[in-house]
Amino acid sequence: MRKDKQKAIDLRKDGKSYAAILKQLHIPKSTLSGWFRDVDWSKAVRTKLASVAKIQSTRHLKELNKVRGAHLVRAYEEARREAREELADLRYNPLFIAGLMLYWGEGDKLTKHHVKLTNTDPKLIKLFLAFLTQACRIPVSKIKAHILLYPDLDDWLSKAYWVHETGLPKENFTKSTVITGKHKTRRLSFGICIVNVSSTYFKVKMLEWLTLLPDELMNQRYYENI
């Protein structure tokens, strides 16, 4: 057996991520995947690392509130580095993939400070909330919701509907906005729900994941490692 392979195996058994092993031994990730993909203990390590990555992400989101000025540049570079490392361990997590795909199609990519998704389907909103809280470890208190209402809709009933369907606490909903369009009685029974996490650090990570994930999913090696 190659010496570097045995070293890589030892590091993996110690709980090291692919990114950490690559950094230390300079072995391509594709080679590591080939060595580890059918090994039960490696799959267990991957599950453990996914949990650790979530915890670290939450801690960094909280710490960023204390960072100002030029330090933000380094903080955002850290966000991109963290996103790359987390992707290595979360790329086979179906909830993580689903959440990113939802955001790719329906989310806001233009603003700098908000991870925001808008939709009329409560199941879609609920799935995205699961992505935020379970895959990304965003505290529920950091998630805000907002309802866009047409003039014929009742604010109280609409908010009660979205609270019930999504499971997001009522206090997380901010004041609703009444909007008008060409049709004042558009066929929407409970309005449009907007879910938002206000965090530039998290937005940087989301955009980094969206940059990397399409190439990952179109690479045949991705499916060979499942």
Please report the pLDDT score of residue 51 as a whole number.
Answer: 60
Looking at the 3D structure of the chain, how many domains does it have?
A: 2
For 125-135, the pLDDT digits (tens) are 999 999 999 99
3-state percent helix, strand, coil for the chain, nearest multiple of 5 = 65, 10, 25
Stated pTM of the model: 0.69
Residue 55 has pLDDT above 60, yes or no: no
Asked if pLDDT for residue 94 goes beyond 70, the answer is yes
Lowest-confidence region among 60-64, 70-74, 198-202: 60-64
| Separation of alpha carbons 144 and 76, rounded Å | 23
221, part of any domain: no
pLDDT per residue as tens digits for the range 104-154? 999 999 998 899 999 999 999 999 999 999 999 899 999 999 999 988 899
Do 106 and 185 belong together in one domain?
yes
User: Which domain covers residue 122, as residue numbers?
Assistant: 102-200
Side by side, which strands form the sheet with 192-198?
114-119, 192-198, 143-149, 177-178
Confidence of residue 89 (pLDDT cuts 50, 70, 90): confident
173 in a domain, yes or no? yes
What string of DSSP letters covers 136-153? S---GGGEEEEEEE-TTS
The answer to the question of residue 211 being in a domain is no
Do 192 and 147 meet the contact criterion of CB atoms below 8 Å apart?
Answer: yes
CB 111 within 8 A of CB 149: no
